Amino acid sequence: MKNNFLQDFIKQKQIYLFIAPGLILLLVFNYYPIFTALYRCMYTWDGVTAKFIGFGNFTRMINDHALRSSVPNVLFLTFFAVGVALTIPLIAAEVVFNLKNERSRYFYRVLFTIPMVVPWMVTLMVWRFIYDPQAGILNQILTGMGLKKFTGVWLGDPKIVLWCLAFIAFPWVAGFNFLIYMAGLENISTEIYDSALIDGATGFIRFLKIDIPLIMGQIKLIFIMTIITQIQAFQNVLVLTKGGPGYSSMVPGYVMYRSAFMYTRMGYASAIGVAIAIFLLGLTIINMKFIKTTIEYES
């Protein structure tokens, strides 16, 4: 009996050792910064000295002109990205899935996966080159087609800079979303299709009545992931426009970045981070309550 207990203890100890490396890393590199953020958002903080100001950072956010301009911008970019993610890669995946020839299915799948492995920075840089007012491809094409009056300064134009950012990576087919839809469609069993065929459900009817409900899990995943990524995204803005011209392409993530790394207002930046996180957490809770989802991976 005693021997059994000892064995169990040794075995358990080994189990804890299996978890220890991951757990220690999490505590040091993830949890500690999280608690620092929750605590320092109440301070003015330059990274070294800190002074408690209560909710001062949050009241300051309300009057921050850059932050106020950034909210509608990020909502626009998020709505646009969600709209795109729920339509174009889905249609492309459905069309590829319905090709009769297996080899061409494979071919298109590879074709729409390659751009995913090109570093995003390269894609951004190439799009910057496309939008360039002098050498840019877009203006050259328009001039070549005799539409010179439509040429513009694109990223430099406050009225259309958001559209330019939204149109990066047009036509938005290639990438993870396409592959996730594809996976969903391929997991639908052939029996369901056979019985659908007998019931006369083909083409668009089948797409609406069978495919869409059966890949709802994938659609929800992409819907929620796109929102969460877009609300906090600021890499494109940081690389291409710095929020400009003026505040016309400012997004909250970049306001945070700017406060921290240009003005060393770490406390204020932490507060913005906390605000964005609370907003996203709210969305996640709504999602869990009403859409009732958890991520799963079936293989």
x/- contact string, 255-284, with another protein (CB under 8 A)?
A: -xx--xx----x--xx-xxx-xx--xx--x
- Distance in Å, CB of 214 to another protein, minimum: 10
Q: Which of residues 73-112 bind another protein (CB under 8 A)?
A: 92, 95-96, 98-101, 104, 106, 108-112
Phi, psi (deg, nearest 5) at residue 152: -155, -175
Nearer to another protein, 186 or 199 (CB): 186
Q: Is 125 in the site for another protein (CB under 8 A)?
A: yes
Site for another protein in 199-238 (CB under 8 A): 215, 217-218, 220-221, 224, 228, 231-232, 234-235, 238
Q: Does 44 bind another protein (CB under 8 A)?
A: no
Q: How many whole angstroms separate alpha carbon 262 and alpha carbon 205?
A: 55
Tell me, residue by residue from 135 to 164, as one string, x for binding to another protein by CB under 8 A and - for no binding. x-x--x------------------------
Indicate the residue among 119 and 146 with the shorter CB distance to another protein.
119
Stretch of 59-67, 74-82, 151-159, 251-259 lying at the interface with another protein (CB under 8 A) = 251-259
Which residue stretch of 59-67, 124-132, 156-164, 191-199 sits at the interface with another protein (rule: CB under 8 A)?
124-132
Token pair of 128 as six digits: 């910057």
Q: Any idea which residue has 């209560």 for tokens?
A: 54
Nearer CB in complex with another protein: 36/59: 36
- Distance separating alpha carbons of residues 139 and 137, to the nearest angstrom: 6
Residues 289 and 93: their CA atoms lie apart, in Å, by 30
Residue 286 φ then ψ, to 5°: -55, -45
- Please, which residue, 158 or 216, has the CB nearer to another protein? 216
Q: How far is the CB of 19 from another protein (least distance, A)?
A: 5
Query: Using omega within 30 degrees of 0 as the cis cutoff, is the peptide bond preceding 33 cis?
Result: no
Q: d(Cα 60, Cα 142) in Å, to the nearest integer?
A: 45
Instruction: Look at phi and psi of residue 262 and say left if phi exceeds 0, alpha if psi is from -120 to 50, else beta.
Output: alpha
CB of 116 to another protein, least distance (A): 7
292: Cα separation from own chain's centroid? 20
| Residues in the chain, total | 299
- DSSP for 187-216 reads TS-HHHHHHHHHTT--HHHHIIIIIHHHTH
The closest of 180, 185, 253 to 223, measured between CA atoms, is 180
Question: Which of 6, 26, 75, 212 is the binder for another protein (CB under 8 A)?
Answer: 26
- Out of 3, 4, 11, 289, which residue is the one contacting another protein (CB under 8 A)? 11
Please work out, in degrees rounded to the nearest 5, the angle formed at the alpha carbon of residue 216 by the alpha carbons of 212 and 220.
Answer: 130
Kindly tell me which residue out of 182, 227, 237, 250 binds another protein, with binding defined by CB under 8 A: 182
